[in-house]
Amino acid sequence: MDKFSIKGGKRLEGELAVSGSKNSALPLVMASILSDEVSTISNVPNLADIKSMILILEVLGTKTDLRGSVLRVEPSNCDKFEAPYDLVRKMRASVYALGALIGRCGKARVSFPGGCVIGPRPIDLHLKGLEELGVQIELEHGYIIAHADKLVGNDINLRGPHGPSVGATVNVMMAAVKAEGVTIIRDASCEPQIIELAAFLNSMGASINGAGTPLVTISGVKELHGAKHSVIPDRIETATYMIAAAITGGNILITNGSFERTEAVIEKLREAGVDIVEENGGVRVSASGGQLKPIDIRTAPYPGFPTDVQSQIMALTTIAEGISVITETVHPERFMHVSELNRMGADIKIEGNNAVVKGVPKLSGAPVMASELRGGAGLVLAGLAAENQTVVSRIYHIDRGYEDIEKKLAGVGADIERISD
Ligand code: EPU
For residue 187, which phi and psi values (nearest 5 degrees)? 55, 40
Question: Does any ligand 1 atom lie closer than 6 A to the CB of residue 124?
Answer: yes
Answer whether the bond into residue 303 is a cis peptide, omega within 30°: yes
pLDDT digits (tens, 9 = 90+) for 89-124: 889 899 999 999 999 999 999 998 866 688 878 999
**Residue 9 reports pLDDT greater than 80:** yes
Gyration radius of the chain over CA positions: 21
CA pair distance 187, 330, nearest whole angstrom? 15
**Residue 69 reports pLDDT greater than 90:** yes
Select from 166, 174, 333 the residue to mutate for testing ligand 1; criterion: most ligand atoms less than 8 Å from CB: 166
Residue type (1 letter), 334: R
Long-range contacts of 287-293 (CB under 8 A, 24+ apart): 287/245, 287/246, 287/247, 287/248, 287/249, 287/250, 287/251, 288/249, 289/11, 289/249, 290/249, 291/320, 291/321, 292/246, 292/316, 292/317, 292/319, 292/320, 292/321, 292/359, 293/320, 293/321, 293/322
Q: How far is the CA of 165 from the centre of ligand 1 (A)?
A: 6
What pLDDT does 115 receive? 61
Q: How far is the CA of 93 from the centre of ligand 1 (A)?
A: 9
Q: How far is the CA of 113 from the centre of ligand 1 (A)?
A: 12
Distances 170 to 22, 51, 282 between C-alpha atoms, Å: 14, 19, 28
Cβ atoms of residues 378 and 351 within 8 Å:
no
Q: Is 22 helix (H, G, I), strand (E, B) or coil?
A: helix
Summary mean pLDDT of the chain: 96
Question: Does any ligand 1 atom lie closer than 6 A to the CB of residue 370?
Answer: no
Question: Does any ligand 1 atom lie closer than 6 A to the CB of residue 167?
Answer: yes
Q: Which helix (DSSP H) or strand (DSSP E) does residue 276 occupy?
A: strand 275-279
Mean pLDDT confidence for 231-242: 98
For the CA of 167, the closest atom of ligand 1 is 23
Question: Does any ligand 1 atom lie closer than 6 A to the CB of residue 161?
Answer: yes
Instruction: Determine if the pTM surpasses 0.95.
Output: yes
Instruction: State the CB neighbour count (10 A cutoff) for residue 69.
Output: 18
Q: Is 69 helix (H, G, I), strand (E, B) or coil?
A: coil
How much of the chain, in percent, has pLDDT values that exceed 90? 94
**Residue 402 reports pLDDT greater than 70:** yes
What pLDDT does 288 receive? 83
Question: Does any ligand 1 atom lie closer than 6 A to the CB of residue 47?
Answer: no
Mean pLDDT confidence for 176-183: 98
How much of the chain, in percent, has pLDDT values that exceed 70? 99
Whether 116 is catalytic: yes
**Residue 186 reports pLDDT greater than 90:** yes
Question: Does any ligand 1 atom lie closer than 6 A to the CB of residue 116?
Answer: no
For the CA of 120, the closest atom of ligand 1 is 11
